[in-house]
Amino acid sequence: MEEKQIEILKIATEEFATNGFYQTKTDIIAEKANVSKGLVFHYFKTKKNLYSETIREAIVQLEKAMNEGEYPTNSLIDLFDYSLKKKFELAKSHQFEMQLILDVYSHLEQLPEEMNQEIDDYLERVNNASYEMVATIVRRLPLKNGIFEEDVVKLVLMVFNQIELDAKKTMEHEKVTNLRFFDQVMFDARKQLSILETGFLRENRNFSR
């Protein structure tokens, strides 16, 4: 990819993340990238293609950043701790990429209809990556007889997603300045995942009446 294309995508990421698809102007992107509007369309043909390529590049950058370092593989609780901290570290180092992807998740129905399938494919890859990350740990756990990997992974992801959703709702009303904000989130996550790993019924139990 040429240097000018990279600069256009960088500026486009900031503009789309800040203003959304419809309110973003290609004139502004060209001006801030210090290129002509004609060159923008030479590289990307249409605003829709530019947006699609911007999302693709944002996902590539986020996946690359998320893959830096080693994820804990001994515990689901440790994995969640690491993953959540990593995501909010990325919110600082890759602010506009994160903002763009969150906007895609939140307003998918408002995007041009012809773009939905391509974006759905991106999101499916992200979900598959999350599934495999959790499955890697689950495969190492001594599952009880009759308990299957797929069911456990789906349940764990449901818990992960709900905890993160609760954190995001809280963030709508509070400004996050450091990771201490997530102390309570981590505490609640540990409790829930511990219950998930160990179960909530006593080992020696009798349901007979």
What mean pLDDT do residues 35-39 have? 94
Distance CA 94, CA 90 (A): 5
For Cα atoms 28, 33, 105, give the angle at the middle one, nearest 5 degrees.
65
- pTM, 2 dp: 0.66
Closest CA to 28 of 44, 40, 43, 46: 40
Amino acid residing at 52: S
Q: What is the DSSP letter of 143?
A: P
Question: Would you state the pLDDT for residue 112?
Answer: 64
Choose the most confident range, by mean pLDDT, from 169-173, 193-197, 200-204.
Answer: 193-197
User: Is the CB of residue 80 less than 8 Å from the CB of residue 194?
Assistant: no
For residue 33, what are the contacts with CB-CB under 8 A and spacing of at least 6? Answer: 4, 7, 8, 10, 11, 12, 40
What mean pLDDT do residues 118-138 have? 80
Q: Is 153 a residue whose pLDDT tops 60?
A: yes
Q: Tens digits of per-residue pLDDT, 38-97?
A: 999 999 999 988 998 998 898 888 878 877 667 777 777 787 778 777 777 887 889 899
For Cα atoms 33, 60, 104, give the angle at the middle one, nearest 5 degrees.
80
